Amino acid sequence: MPDAVDPPSAWVRRFLRHIPAAGPVLDIAAGGGRHTRLCLEHGHPVTAVDRDVTGLAALAGRAGLEVIRADLETAGPWPLADRRFAGVIVTNYLHRPLLPAIVAAVATDGCLIYETFAAGNELFGRPKNPDFLLRPGELLDAVRGRLFVVAYENLEITEPRPAVVQRIAARNGNRAVSTLQP
């Protein structure tokens, strides 16, 4: 798990403004809470979900924070039921069967911001298991027909360390960018 003081992903920072102002955010597999913290600081209530919520302890008691301890990979029901969020953030986490539920959790006018390791990362380090590596175009496939793609990349990066990542920002609706937060 990343340390709680890890900086937010540059991709998440870049597309945060596509989440409607003050809209609720779902941070899936929130870990140390770097994006939970970022969103709270930007005025969003946040629901942070993880099977291990110890990394969120430093944020306990923050106004607008809901922490849900749940194992997302058991056969049990999706813990968010039919709740919808203005922003859904997933970074450095992949459990393929969840992709449809993650996309469905994006409210009208909301935005999905997803970034994790992709095929090819095995040349650089962990994760190497294909179960944890996105296939070419997999995030595009996951949102096709459901969300509008604002941006998508599948590339080698050097910061914060050499890796291959795939990332997407995709909106539920095609609201003009001029109406977004500055």
Which x/- pattern over 79-108 shows residues binding ligand SAM (rule: CB under 6 A)?
A: ------------xxx---------------
Q: Does 2 bind ligand SAM (CB under 6 A)?
A: yes
Which x/- pattern over 8-47 shows residues binding ligand SAM (rule: CB under 6 A)?
A: ---------------------xxxx-x-------------
In the block, which residue shows the tokens 């459901």? Answer: 146
Q: Does 57 bind ligand SAM (CB under 6 A)?
A: no
Q: Does 72 bind ligand SAM (CB under 6 A)?
A: yes
Beta strands in the chain (DSSP E): 25-28, 46-50, 65-69, 85-91, 106-117, 148-157, 163-171
Terminal Cα-to-Cα distance of the chain (whole angstroms): 32
Q: Of the two residues 8 and 109, which places its CB atom closer to ligand SAM in the complex?
A: 8
Q: Does 78 bind ligand SAM (CB under 6 A)?
A: no
